[in-house]
Amino acid sequence: MGSTRSAKDGERISILYSFPHAFGAPGIGWTAWNQVNELVRAGHDVHLVTTSVARPVDGLASLSTSLEVAGRRIPHRVLGQDRSLAWHDRFAARVLAKRLPDVVHVWPRSAERTIEAARARAIPSFREVPNTHTANAYEVVAAESARLGLAPREGSSHAADPVRLATEEREWATATALLVPSDAVATTFLDRGFDESRLRRHRYGCTPPGAVERDDVDGAPLSAVFLGRVEARKGLHFALDAWLASEASEQGTFLVFGAVDEAYLAVLGDRLAHPSVQLRGLTASPLDELAQADVLLLPSIEEGSALVTYEAQAVGCVPLVSTAAGALLEHDVHGLVHPTGDVATLAAHLDLLSGSPETLGRLRRAALAHGPQLTWAAAAASLVEAYTSRPALAVNGMVRADAA
């Protein structure tokens, strides 16, 4: 059995971190990379088990890859997604038996056997929950898609899949605790009868670009930006309706960045044709786009804890977000939060900031000052506390974002 030393006492702990996708790749691979990188930087022993490595981390205690042969990655599609995930799970369970870590950190759909192996050895297991309860995600996205006359995007992780849901339910039921990154996520589990004691709050983070200097707010027309997939789940239709209903659209600009769901694009119709709105597609420099904008619009209907809301604050772009966005901020301090789907309130927030440079400046300064609490290093500290502390929905430094 591994050491039982507590990280809260300033000592290192041993962590088996199982990630069943390409480690360091865009998306959740980037989240996993930052978690592991900062755990290692903080002095902990991380035994990484992953399918393949797109970006390495220096200083790992060990590295095991489940879907690489002679240094070459075997894509999930070769074996099929489900078989690849099951293979990785069995592989990670075998590595666990050799390493005997203090704690085990697992990701969705590839964790059952690893959790069982940990439980047999009295090792606590922590299951990452990057989005809301999967049944909630299915229901919310399906309802909004139906309201818009759409079907959930084929192949999307939010298209209803009873087999996937059953797998996740078994993982949730057997893990020692669930790692929830926001109140929005925690609430969906509590609403379905999960005991609060099994939910451990942590956070995600961002990599600030260094010292950020923003010009004083001078009353120029408001500039807004949307960064995310152009699909119903991200709520761009709400953002556009609010923007066009606000005085900000008369002189301001609203730039939309992200991969486009073509069926959803047809629903948006004339809203994108307004002269103040520009659809820009993907951007290679999201931080630069945020740094040039006054506000971020992200009225998501379902989200875990959107990384773009961390990035926006770090560069002084004021987040205007829904309660479902999972943003780590305080309403009317670091940004403005509206009830999910409430276009009128979002429009009022746009009018407020368009007409009050003083308010925009106050929020911008507070968002920038909040930046040091939003780093991946701070996220790793909250993760270690989640591993080692008694259950609680609030971790020191966490600020609720659901009090609009």
Long-range contacts of 264-268 (CB under 8 A, 24+ apart): 264/148, 264/150, 264/230, 264/231, 264/232, 264/236, 265/230, 267/148, 267/149, 267/150, 267/232, 267/237, 268/236, 268/237, 268/240
Residues 121 and 43 occupy one common structural domain:
yes
Q: How many structural domains is the chain composed of?
A: 2
Q: Is residue 291 part of a domain?
A: yes
Residue 336: which domain range? 223-374
pLDDT tens sequence across 217-253: 778 999 999 999 999 999 999 999 999 999 999 999 9
Q: Is residue 401 part of a domain?
A: no
Q: Is residue 395 part of a domain?
A: no
Residues 259 and 298 occupy one common structural domain:
yes
pLDDT tens sequence across 380-402: 999 999 999 865 333 323 333 33
Residues 227 and 200 occupy one common structural domain:
no
Question: pTM value?
Answer: 0.91
Residues 97 and 113 occupy one common structural domain:
yes
Residues 239 and 194 occupy one common structural domain:
no
Residues 195 and 334 occupy one common structural domain:
no
Distance of alpha carbon 178 from alpha carbon 228, whole angstroms: 26
Q: Is residue 216 part of a domain?
A: no
The more confident residue out of 397 and 210 is 210
Residues 231 and 202 occupy one common structural domain:
no
pLDDT at 73 over 80: no
Average pLDDT over residues 318-332: 98
The more confident residue out of 4 and 59 is 59
The pLDDT, as a whole number, for residue 400 is 31
The pLDDT, as a whole number, for residue 77 is 77
Mention every residue, 6+ apart, whose C-beta is less than 8 A from residue 351: 246, 247, 248
Average pLDDT over residues 290-316: 97
The pLDDT, as a whole number, for residue 9 is 52
Q: Is residue 299 part of a domain?
A: yes
The pLDDT, as a whole number, for residue 3 is 43
Mean pLDDT of the chain: 91
Residues 62 and 200 occupy one common structural domain:
yes
The pLDDT, as a whole number, for residue 164 is 95
The more confident residue out of 333 and 216 is 333
Q: Is residue 403 part of a domain?
A: no
Residues 61 and 170 occupy one common structural domain:
yes
Q: Are the CB atoms for 315 and 287 separated by under 8 Å?
A: yes
Average pLDDT over residues 322-341: 98
Q: Are the CB atoms for 185 and 192 separated by under 8 Å?
A: no
The structure tokens 């299915």 sit at 138
Distance of alpha carbon 94 from alpha carbon 47, whole angstroms: 13
The pLDDT, as a whole number, for residue 392 is 37
Residues 74 and 199 occupy one common structural domain:
yes
The pLDDT, as a whole number, for residue 70 is 64
Provide the CATH number for the domain around residue 297.
Answer: 3.40.50.2000
Q: Is residue 402 part of a domain?
A: no
Query: Residue 327 has what DSSP assignment?
Result: -
pLDDT tens sequence across 113-156: 999 999 999 999 999 999 999 999 999 999 999 999 998 777 77
The pLDDT, as a whole number, for residue 401 is 37
Residues 253 and 195 occupy one common structural domain:
no
Q: Which helix (H) or strand (E) holds 170?
A: helix 162-174
The pLDDT, as a whole number, for residue 390 is 63
Residues 362 and 381 occupy one common structural domain:
no
Q: Is residue 78 part of a domain?
A: yes
